[in-house]
Amino acid sequence: MSNKPASDKYLPMSRRTFLRGLGVLALGTAVEALTGCSSILTESPTALPLTATLLPPTATVPSPTTTPSPTATPVPDLPLFDWATLAPVAVAHDPLAEGYPRDLPFDPDSAYPEYPFGNAIARTTNAAYRLVREALRLFNPAGYGTPGWNPLGRIIQPGDRVLIKPNLVDAGYWQNGQMTHPAFLRPVIDYVYRACGPGGSIMLGDAPWSVDVFPRLVVNTGIQDMVAYLAATHGVPIKLVDLNVTEPQNTPLVDLGTLSELRQVQRTWYDAHGKAMHDGDDPGIGRYRIAPAVLEADVIVNVPKAKVHCSGGITVAMKNMVGLIPAWDGPYGDGALKECAHTSDVDQAGGRRGMYLENDTIWRSMADLNRILLYADAQGTLRATPQRRYVCLVDALTAAEASQYQPQPFPLNTVIIGADPISVDAVTARCMGFDPRQLKSVMQAAVRQELPLGPSTPARIRVITADQRGLNAHFRQVLKPETQIYSWEGYLEARDFDPPRILATGWDEHSGTLQVTLHDPSGVSWVRVTYIADGEQRTKDLTLVEGSTVEGLWSVPFPRREAFSGAILLASDALFNEMMQKPL
């Protein structure tokens, strides 16, 4: 990919060159503000001679007999942009990763200083452990490289009850990328234990599609042996929990009422078997039975797979919460599959009820379940504030393409971590080569402001990568969407893998504004400028004042021409294709 503009007026500049240019002025502040990390650079950068252009020139003292020239009224250098207000999503990617290790108990292959279990080091390579650790470093670098590094310590506290919720599907094996791999779960367990300590409790549980799946699945995949080893050898307070094992009368009924997405429109809703659902049923429209262990947890660690889905497009963070619903024995041949709405009369009237353009149902159930996860208390009563903490780590070392049920494995070699389901699904979709704007579970679910599930626009998401480049630098290949059940080909794929292009830029002395014209076929999502003023690094957000996001003029009050000469422009489109460029 090339960031070269249409004119030679602009000089492309990498983030590393920019950070070196700041030198001793604001190196640590700039790295943390631009990337969310304080320890990315390991070498000592050489300061470039930029201070002469970043600081105001020395004023000339006028002669007593000379009338001083009038000076412009300075423009207040406000408002400044705060990077901490964005939802951070860290993406760790290694194109040379070797996949998953095969040998239980999936110990790390290196002696990490924070590792809690001494010398239990594997003899074979373990790329899964390394990439999970790298994603956690990007997400929370404070203390990295020391024995005290506790990357989940901001979310998990000593003594917490933590539920690790993987994506466990059937009693088969993991090779096709359909389920969260046990080698991926191992570092997650280790760092959860690092945070909650021996006084906490860790549950690893799921509710697969049928009541008899979980006991066979944990044996076949090696999860049961791994958990038993950690408990017996290292004293980890962990146990397996089959979320299907609960009686209906002991399972809280959560009623979303008017906050249910199913109640925003008038339709007839049908469950997975095609049976009509009714108001007041138990469960029913906007009413869900939720496994008790979920609501009793202080923290949920969501560990989904990155894979395609026949009616949702993708099944990652949002869709994984269907596993909160126990699968009961029922009158149908398969049992009562996940008693929540899957289709509606509107979907079925389209004749292709699962195809993307017709299915307007499954995203609603997904949004309802994620709101319950975050906002329902232990008794199932909905509250106005989050009732438990949340973090999501996506197993995308091997992604699954082409089919939900018989997927083809794809080596994506990536781990994604974030603190809300909306931003995680949006970024993961883009890493898979998909356009997150085509996913109703992302775009529609983010619209509601009551009990929010995440940011409502890509401009409120901060993507953090190790080399400080956008996703377009690493993810330009499109996975094959679902084709075997309902074909999503032609609907989901991203088509733009290049960042916004600057057409013109300048500083208007009369109005004291920086003005930039940009073009991008996917639409510019945000534009920011970072610079040094009065010896400190600052950032501002530009506003679209003319034209459209595809091609338009963006502007922001700017303090002085001298600061403009050292400014760096940053921009991203709606597909997280980012650029950084220094104008002359």
- The secondary structure element, H or E, covering residue 301 is strand 299-303
Q: What is the pLDDT averaged over residues 547-552?
A: 98
pLDDT number for residue 166: 98
DSSP secondary structure of 452-481: --S-SSGGGEEEEETTS--GGGT---PPP-
Q: What does the block give as tokens for 415? A: 């781990």
Taking only the tens place, the pLDDT of each residue in 82-131 is 999 999 999 999 999 989 999 999 999 999 999 999 877 888 899 999 99
- The secondary structure element, H or E, covering residue 447 is none
Flag whether pLDDT at 209 surpasses 50: yes
Tell me the one-letter amino acid at 555: S
Q: What does the block give as tokens for 194? A: 């690092």
The residue among 24 and 171 whose pLDDT is bigger is: 171
DSSP H helical ranges for 77-180: 127-139
pLDDT number for residue 356: 58
pLDDT number for residue 46: 28
Query: Nearest CA to 420 among 293, 317, 503, 305?
Result: 317
CA 178 to chain centre: 20
Taking only the tens place, the pLDDT of each residue in 175-199 is 778 999 999 999 999 999 999 999 9
Taking only the tens place, the pLDDT of each residue in 260-287 is 999 999 999 998 878 899 988 888 999 9
Neighbours of 341 (CB within 10 A): 25
Flag whether pLDDT at 40 surpasses 50: no
Query: Nearest CA to 391 among 156, 124, 169?
Result: 156
Rounded CA separation 537/395 (Å): 36
Angle between helices 27-35 and 15-22 in degrees, nearest 10: 150
Do you find a cis peptide bond into 147, omega within 30 degrees of 0? Answer: no
Rounded CA separation 316/478 (Å): 17
Q: What does the block give as tokens for 504? A: 């013109």
Q: What is the pLDDT averaged over residues 294-302?
A: 98
| Burial (0-12, 13-18, 19+ Cβ within 10 Å), 233 | exposed
Flag whether pLDDT at 465 surpasses 60: yes
Flag whether pLDDT at 562 surpasses 80: no
Rounded CA separation 364/572 (Å): 29
Rounded CA separation 102/400 (Å): 19
Rounded CA separation 149/436 (Å): 33
The residue among 125 and 355 whose pLDDT is bigger is: 125
Neighbours of 82 (CB within 10 A): 10
Residue 85 DSSP class: G
What percentage of the chain carries pLDDT values higher than 70?
Answer: 83
Mean pLDDT, the chain, as a whole number?
A: 85
What residues pair up with 553 in beta bridges, in sequence order? Answer: 517, 546
Rounded CA separation 148/267 (Å): 54
Q: What does the block give as tokens for 100? A: 């998953």
Query: Nearest CA to 402 among 432, 380, 378?
Result: 432
Rounded CA separation 445/369 (Å): 11
pLDDT number for residue 300: 98
pLDDT number for residue 354: 56
83: Cβ–Cβ under 8 A, 6 or more apart, which residues?
A: 33, 34, 36, 462, 539
Rounded CA separation 182/179 (Å): 9
What residues pair up with 204 in beta bridges, in sequence order? Answer: 164, 240
CA 272 to chain centre: 28
Rounded CA separation 89/138 (Å): 9
Rounded CA separation 163/201 (Å): 9
Backbone φ and ψ for 116, nearest 5 degrees, come out as -80, -5
pLDDT number for residue 119: 77
Flag whether pLDDT at 38 surpasses 50: no
Query: Nearest CA to 530 among 567, 559, 555, 505?
Result: 567
Triad 388, 394, 395: Cα angle to 5°: 135
Query: Nearest CA to 185 among 207, 165, 206?
Result: 165
533-537 contact pairs (CB < 8 A, 24+): 533/54, 533/77, 533/559, 533/560, 533/563, 534/77, 535/25, 535/55, 536/25, 536/26, 536/29, 537/22, 537/25, 537/26, 537/29, 537/30, 537/33
